[in-house]
Amino acid sequence: MTTIGATAPKRRLALLTHQVRYEQLSFWRNPQSAFFTFAFPVVVVAVFGGLFGGIGRSEFYYGRSALQYYVPTIAALSVLGSCFSQLAIVLANRRQNGILKRARATPLPASVHFAGLLAHCVLVSVVDVLLIAAVGRLYGVPLPSPAQWPALTLTLLLGASAFCALGVAVAAVIRNAEAAPSVVQLVLFPLVFISGTYMPIHSAALNTVAAALPVEPFNDALLHAFTTGHTGIPWRDYGVLLLWGTAGAAVAVRRFRWETGARTR
């Protein structure tokens, strides 16, 4: 019994590694999609560097330079793209094409299937953030100091996990693959703008609303982690992300369907 108990976690780990590898191979076998996944945020930061690179510290950017503000917010946007938008669309497509139904019929546990997909999304997000930070460095934006790495790592893991959970929750209520991009954009577009991703919001009313939603706390936590001299932990932002991630996971577990027209109990 002890041998079997010790083998089970190792087998799950092996299955998880295999699933992550499968997701990575699937991702890189579409080089055009992979290229634009990484190129889009890099191009945005480069364009913003050309447009706003000469703007120094300003109260408009809360005491930061323009690029010290935009590098973290675009990094947050890249995580949203990988862990929320693409995940919801991929799941909707796989369900409609029967891929999820076939995966459900295999011996691979559902938890391992999802863990592999979510780990893949997190890996893509990390690469995106590293590229954005590197481009920002070319424009003079300092990298986080070693003292800020724990907060940055925790922010990325918590944010990516929360938005993955929300991505699966949204995929659970999307009825067909054709509607997925429209539904995702309808949810994400207003959130991104009222949360100050592209421009700081100085309206107290909007900031109050945005602070209770998941995007603004994620932006704020990344801004905190990227700002020189800030070494504390933004617990309030983490609390909001944790609540939204928990709510998304609850909806996903209750309503996710492996095939069109069916619901997993």
User: For residue 124, is pLDDT > 90?
Assistant: yes
Residue 150 lies in a domain: yes
Determine the structural domain holding residue 246 and report its residue range: 9-255
Given this model, what pLDDT does residue 231 score?
67
Mean pLDDT of the chain: 88
**Could you tell me if residue 262 is inside a domain?**
no
**How high is the pLDDT of residue 15?**
86
pLDDT tens per residue across span 188-229: 999 999 999 999 999 999 999 999 999 999 999 999 998 876
In a domain, 265, yes or no: no
Q: What is the mean pLDDT of residues 160-183?
A: 92
What's the pTM? Answer: 0.89
Task: List CB contacts of 90: < 8 A, sequence separation 6 or more.
Answer: 117
Residue 81 lies in a domain: yes
In a domain, 107, yes or no: yes
Structure tokens at 251: 């909806």
Q: Return the pLDDT at 37.
A: 86
Higher-confidence position of 7 and 243: 243
Contact between residue 156 and residue 79 where contact means Cβ atoms under 8 Å apart: yes
d(CA 238, CA 227): 17
Residue at 2 is within a domain: no
Q: For residue 158, what pLDDT band results from cuts at 50, 70 and 90?
A: very high
How much is the pLDDT for 100? 86
Q: For the residues 124-130, what does the mean pLDDT come to?
A: 93
Share of the chain above pLDDT 70, in %: 94
Residues 6+ apart with CB under 8 A from 43: none
Tell me, yes or no, whether 146 lies in a domain. yes
Cβ–Cβ < 8 Å for 95, 258: yes
Which pLDDT tens digit goes with each residue over 73-119? Answer: 999 999 999 999 999 999 999 899 888 888 888 888 888 888 899 99
Instruction: Look at residue 251 and tell me whether its pLDDT is greater than 60.
Output: yes
Question: Within a domain: residue 172?
Answer: yes
Helix 86-96 × helix 110-138 angle, to 10°:
140
- When divided into structural domains, the chain yields a total of 1
